[in-house]
Amino acid sequence: MENSFLKVFNTLVGLIMVLFLSGCATHLQKITPENMVFIAEGPFTMGFAIENDNEWGDMDEDPVHEVTLSAYWMDKYEITSADFAEFLNSHQSSAQQFIEITPSVTVEFVEGKYQPRTGLENLPVNRVSWHGADAYCQWKDKRLPTEAEWEKAARGIDQRIFPWGNEFPDNSRVTFRRKFSKLGFEVMEPVDSMSQGVSPYGIHHMAGNVWEWVADWFGGGTYEDHESKDPKGPETGISKVLRGGNWYYKAYYLRTTYRFNERPDQFNIWQGFRCARPAAGGKKLLSPLRDLCVSRKIEESRFFTAFRMTRNASLSF
């Protein structure tokens, strides 16, 4: 009799736990933006000490300084040709400001419609202007990441040289030293590939594939008079910052701190991007289980206490 009761009790406990965890997981899915990674509020070290044994680093990467960022979300993947084609078809009247279609672009224009080239749907869109990147992110209710947000997402808080660490790059981690004239579109890899080269936050292709536009205007002396909290770069400028290197550049340019720049209306074969989004609620959004599941845990504890008391009382007869 007692064994039968215990079996029933344990079965009920299991069912309740499944329902409890299922409810929390459903809540997480609802508040987590699709294919985005949460980066918590806090400080990180930005920049690169140019006096080093490798003689790496440019003057605009110095001085090294600490920056504190509010919590935000970052796209896990670069924007694909399929993603951007959908956007272009919704903005055909202004599409020529956003992308320049050539045979070396992963998007094509066929019979009045933009579409990803066959077989290239999951490659990053390329030859996108800063204006195109900015407009796309706004269309998705996001924005371009700031330069500081991009760097933290790429290197984390341990000052690593490359997204995966300090080991020299190879083509299992990152696309580099590949020539488009020889390989064509095979210079790029699908945006969700190369898991060995992800950043500390699990973000793909923060080095290689395509240079990525960020929100900031470029300033060579930006770090000399930097903001320590949520910096946004110069108020005006001539060119916008790009980060991360591309499929052809050597290791030096794949570093998490390297700063490149180009005019916002310029089209180059190796220009792409990803988006970011501020995390409303900051740290509370980092641990939604605390808001939902802690209260459920208390209810669960009270239930089990009462249930055990009832079970013990029943077994005492």
Q: Do 262 and 303 share a domain, yes or no? A: no
Measure the CA–CA gap between 23 and 296, rounded to whole angstroms: 10
| Better-scored residue on pLDDT, 67 or 2 | 67
Q: Do 66 and 204 share a domain, yes or no? A: yes
Find, among 58, 51, 251, the residue nearest to 167 by Cα. Answer: 251
Q: Do 64 and 21 share a domain, yes or no? A: no
How much is the pLDDT for 298? 33
CB neighbours of residue 126 within 10 Å: 32
Q: Do 259 and 300 share a domain, yes or no? A: no
What six digits make up the tokens of 264? 């916002």
Find, among 264, 82, 100, the residue nearest to 191 by Cα. Answer: 82
Whether pLDDT at 256 is above 60: yes
4 pLDDT band, cuts 50/70/90, is low
Q: What is the CATH number of the domain that holds 137?
A: 3.90.1580.10
Residue 24 Cα to chain centre, angstroms: 24
How much is the pLDDT for 56? 87
What domain range includes position 62?
37-281
Measure the CA–CA gap between 132 and 264, rounded to whole angstroms: 9
Phi, psi (rounded to 5 degrees) for 143: -155, 165
**Rounded-to-10 torsion of CA 244, 143, 43, 78:** -30
Q: Do 267 and 302 share a domain, yes or no? A: no
Q: Do 154 and 302 share a domain, yes or no? A: no
Q: Do 21 and 168 share a domain, yes or no? A: no
Q: Which range, of 216-225, 231-240, 249-258, 303-312, averages the lowest pLDDT?
A: 303-312
Q: Do 239 and 259 share a domain, yes or no? A: yes
Task: Share the mean pLDDT of the chain.
Answer: 84
Q: Do 21 and 163 share a domain, yes or no? A: no
Using an 8 Å Cβ cutoff, are 187 and 180 in contact? yes
Q: Do 72 and 203 share a domain, yes or no? A: yes
Q: Do 211 and 75 share a domain, yes or no? A: yes
Q: Do 217 and 296 share a domain, yes or no? A: no
Helical (H) or strand (E) element with 115: strand 113-116
Q: How many structural domains are present in the chain?
A: 2
